[in-house]
Chain A
Amino acid sequence: MKTLFFSLIISIVIGFPAAANTSIVVVANTENKDIQLNRQQVRNLFMGGALSYDLEAISLPPKNQTRVLFNTKVVGLTESRIQSYWAQMRFTGRKKAPKEVASEKAVLEYIKSHPGAVGYLPVGVSIPDELTVLYSTP
Chain B
Amino acid sequence: MPWRLWNFVLVFGLALLCNAHPIYAETSDKLQFSGFARVVLGYLDDKNAEYLNYDNSLSIDNESLIGLQADYQMMDSLAVTGQLIGHSGEQRDSGIEWLYLTYTPTNALKLKLGRQRTPFLNYSDVIDVGYAYPWATLPQQTYPRHFFSNFDGLMASYEIPSTLFLMNIEGYWGYFKDKVVVSEREMEAKTTGFHGLISHISFKNWNLRGSYHQGTTSVTLDDVTQFSGLLSQLGFSQSADSLATTGVTEVFQFSANYETVDYFVRGELNRIKADFIFVPDTDGYFLSTGYNYFPFSSYISYSKNTTDYEQPASDIPIGLSPVLDGLAYSYLNIFEQLPVNSSEAYTLGTRWDLQPGLALKGEVSLIKGADNESAFFNIKDTAFDREALLYLIALEWVF
Interface residues of A (CB under 8 A from B): 1-4, 6, 38, 40-41, 44, 47, 49-52, 54, 62-63, 71-72, 76-81, 83-85, 87-88, 90-94
Contacts and interface: CB of A to CB of B under 8 A. Distances in A.
A72 B294 CA distance: 13
A54 B102 CA distance: 20
B107 A50 contact: yes
Interface stretch (B136-144, B162-170, B240-248, B385-393): B162-170
Contacts of B13: none
Contacts of B131: 83-84, 87
Interface stretch (B216-224, B258-266, B277-285): B258-266
B261 A78 contact: yes
A2 B262 contact: yes
B346 interface: no
B128 to A, nearest CB: 8
A2 B163 CA distance: 29
A95 B279 CA distance: 34
Contacts, number: 114
Interface string B118-144: 010001011011011110000000000
Nearest to B109: A50
A88 B357 contact: no
A47 B202 CA distance: 11
B225 interface: no
B129 A87 contact: yes
Contact of A88 (B132, B157, B294, B356): B132
Nearest to A68: B294
Contacts of A44: 161, 166, 202
A43 B397 CA distance: 26
Contacts of B133: 84, 88
Nearest to A4: B261
B293 A2 contact: yes
B392 to A, nearest CB: 18
Contacts of A80: 292, 294-295, 297, 351, 353, 356, 359
B295 A91 contact: no
Interface string B180-205: 00000000000000000000001111
A106 B36 CA distance: 29
B100 interface: yes
Contacts of A63: 356
Contact of A78 (B119, B166, B292, B359): B292
B159 interface: yes
A50 B108 contact: yes
Interface string B218-259: 000000000000000000000000000000000000000001
A91 B129 contact: yes
B293 A51 contact: no
B36 A91 contact: yes
Given A78-B294, A80-B359, A40 B100 contact: no
